[in-house]
Structure formats: C-alpha cells, structure tokens
Amino acid sequence: MSSEDRKLDVLRAIVEDFVSTNDPVGSKALSERHNLGVSPATIRNDMAALEEEGYIAQPHTSAGRVPTDKGYRLFVDRLSAAKPLSAPERRAIQSFLEGAGDLDDVLRRTVRVLAQLTRQMAVVQYPTLTRSAVRHLEVVDVGPRRLMLVLITDTGRVEQRVLELSVAVTDDDVTELRRMLNSHLQGRRLADAHIALLDLPHIVAPALRPVMTTIVAGLVEALVEKPEERVMTGGTANLTRSVLDFPNSLHPVLEALEEQVVLLRLIGEVDSSTVLVRIGGENPHEGLHRTSVVSVGYGAGDTALGGLGVVGPTRMDYAGNMSAVRAVARYVGQMLAGS
C-alpha cells in the first residue's frame, strides 16, 4: 500500500471515529482502534499532511483532529462504501408503506420511516405538478359567482383553487364546463396542458366563453406558470438529539427548515436518481452551514416526480443515510406507480 493510500485510510478512520463518538480523534486512539499497521508517530505525519491539505482541522492546539467539510466531501466521494440496509430494515420500510391510503398518507409514512431509519430530520416533496398528468378536474359551484376547481393528478395529488366570476353560472353550465375541461385535459401532463387550455375558450359555447376564459387563466397561473410545490417534514426532533452538534443554538437551523422555499431548494433540485449530498457550507442557505443534506429523486419509472431526503449535522453517517434515502425513494416510487 502506498503512503498516499494510507493517508486516505487515516482520513476514513478519522471520519468514522468522529461520526460515532463526536470527540476529536488523536493519533494514538486511531492506531488502537483501527489496525493500520503503523505507529502513532507515522499517523501523526499523515495527519499533518491531511491538515495541510485542508481535509481535517484541530479545534485547538492540544486536541485531536476533526474532519472539515472538504474532508467529508472526499470521504463521501471516494472513501465510503455503500452500506446495504439490513433485511429487517427493508421489511420495515415495506410494511410501513404498504398500509398507506391516499397520497398524504403515503408521504406521511415516508417521512416517518425515513426519520426513524436515519435518526435525522426527513423531508419529502409532493409529486411535482408539472410532471403529473390530469386524472380528473372537478368544477364545483360554491356560493354566488364563485367556482372551485379541484384537480386530481395521476399521482393522487389533489389541488384546489377558488375563482371569482364576473357572471353567474347555472348547474348545466357547470356540467358542461366540467365535461369540456375533462375531455380535453384528462390524461394530459400539466406541462403539456398549456396549449390545450388556451384553445378551450374558443371551442366552448359563446355564452360560456368569459367563464371559460377565467377558468383557463386560473388554471394556467396555478398549475402551469407557478405550480405550487409542497413538502412535508418529519422527525424534526432528531435535530435536537445531540446538543453538541449545533453549539450556537439551532434556532437559525429550525428557522431555515420551516421555510418551504428553503426545503424545496434543498431536496427539490434533483434531476436524476443519483443520491445528492450537500455538506455544510455547500448548502445554499446561510443558516444551514453546519448541516448536511442527503437527497434523491423518486419517481415512477424514469421521470423524477419529486425529491426526498434527510437533513442533519455534518457529523452524520453518510453511507447509511445515502442507502436509506435511496431505498425509501425506490419504495415510494413503486407505491406511486402502483396507485
């Protein structure tokens, strides 16, 4: 083994020890707990080199070393072996998700099982509207000159919106609107629905034209132009598991994680099915510079319907969390495909 290889072994050992103990790790402890085949003195030389290159750091002079963000990054990219879930864990995921009912229920169970497996805070995005298809669009008369549109997608998502009309409509009008909308939109992806929508006012009965125009405008705005992305979180309490992880108080962390927008940026920017890891300062949000995020897209087939992941201290079990996140995403994909 070259000395370069051993240096990486040392880094791996440091990360593993630090993750499990939360104590800065010194050369002596290292040579005892891992059989690296060299003396502490040699390890010290390697550590000095690693520190020089920015992979580890000393909290203070007479302390052991702690991995830096850069060190974790190298560990994740090159040093950590995939860590397959145990059979009981797989069974737990499966049985937990199997009893689910509607979409909300599926996602609720998803965050729960993910938080339990990883002992971190879990986040899951609702299937994005743009890549979903219309299963049904319901038009309901609610009060004078107000219509409620209820969209049901093929992933089971239900979105509603109330429109104010300038004229009153009869029950027959509503039925006709519903019929037209559904016959033109059903089965269509929302991303492709734009053109079909804009046609509708022209082919509807003249009397209904203004109403249809309003409906189309509402739909285009709510579903095509700025489709509402949503997320669900769970296991927030896990962030408080160790007080030591967020010494400056976790107030800013919790504050950041309450914002849907922030969460979406964290887990919603997945375009493939490879697990994405963001470590400490790599995170876009200021308050999350001491946290890491492990996320992946889930989907039925090849298109990613949304993202899910976990958020925790940079000192986390990356290999385990990556496996858990990947496995849960696969099961969720199956669930949504089968419904």
HSE-CB for 42 with a 13 A CA cutoff = 11
Q: Is 240 in the site for its own copies (CB under 8 A)?
A: yes
Structure tokens at 201: 């006012």
Burial 163-187 (b: 16+ CB within 10 A, else e): beeeeebeeebbebbbebbbebbee
How many separate helices (H) and strands (E) can be counted in the chain?
Answer: 12, 10
Interatomic CA distance for residues 238 and 244, integer angstroms: 13
Q: Is 161 in the site for its own copies (CB under 8 A)?
A: yes
With beta carbons less than 8 A apart as the criterion, state whether 229 and 126 touch. yes
Q: Is 221 in the site for its own copies (CB under 8 A)?
A: no
Which residues, 6 or more positions from 115, have their beta carbon under 8 angstroms from its beta carbon? 121, 122, 234, 235, 238, 310
Q: Give which of its own copies, DNA, none residue 138 binds (C-beta under 5 to 8 Å, depending on kind).
A: its own copies
Residue corresponding to tokens 């095509």: 224
Judged by CB, which is closer to DNA: 48, or 261?
A: 48
CB of 242 to DNA, least distance (A): 16
Q: Is 70 in the site for its own copies (CB under 8 A)?
A: no
Q: Give which of its own copies, DNA, none residue 158 binds (C-beta under 5 to 8 Å, depending on kind).
A: its own copies
Interatomic CA distance for residues 264 and 257, integer angstroms: 10
CB of 27 to DNA, least distance (A): 3
DSSP state of 283: S
Q: Is 232 in the site for its own copies (CB under 8 A)?
A: no
Judged by CB, which is closer to DNA: 38, or 220?
A: 38
- Restricting to residues 71-130, name those near its own copies by CB under 8 A: 101-103
Q: Give which of its own copies, DNA, none residue 64 binds (C-beta under 5 to 8 Å, depending on kind).
A: DNA
Q: Is 243 in the site for its own copies (CB under 8 A)?
A: yes
Judged by CB, which is closer to its own copies: 56, or 106?
A: 106
Q: Which stretch binds its own copies (CB under 8 A): 36-44, 47-55, 132-140, 205-213?
A: 132-140
Q: Which amino acid is at 254?
A: L
Q: Is 152 in the site for its own copies (CB under 8 A)?
A: yes
Dihedral of the CA atoms 314, 318, 320, 323 (nearest 10)? 130
Residue 19: C-alpha distances to residues 5, 14, 174, 247, 284 (Å) = 21, 8, 61, 16, 23
Q: Is 251 in the site for its own copies (CB under 8 A)?
A: yes
Q: Give which of DNA, its own copies, none residue 40 binds (C-beta under 5 to 8 Å, depending on kind).
A: DNA
Q: Which stretch binds its own copies (CB under 8 A): 31-39, 58-66, 84-92, 146-154?
A: 146-154
Judged by CB, which is closer to its own copies: 273, or 339?
A: 339
CB of 55 to its own copies, least distance (A): 32
CB of 76 to DNA, least distance (A): 22
Q: Is 234 in the site for its own copies (CB under 8 A)?
A: yes
Residues that bind DNA (CB under 7 A): 3, 6, 23-29, 37-42, 44-45, 47-48, 51, 58, 60-65
Q: Outline where DSSP puts E strands in the chain.
A: 56-57, 66-67, 121-125, 134-141, 146-153, 158-164, 231-234, 276-279, 291-298, 306-313
Interatomic CA distance for residues 117 and 126, integer angstroms: 20
With beta carbons less than 8 A apart as the criterion, state whether 40 and 27 touch. yes
Q: Is 237 in the site for its own copies (CB under 8 A)?
A: yes
Give the binding site for its own copies (CB under 8 A): 101-103, 135-136, 138, 140, 142-143, 148, 150, 152, 156, 158, 160-162, 234-237, 240-241, 243, 249-251, 254-255, 258, 339
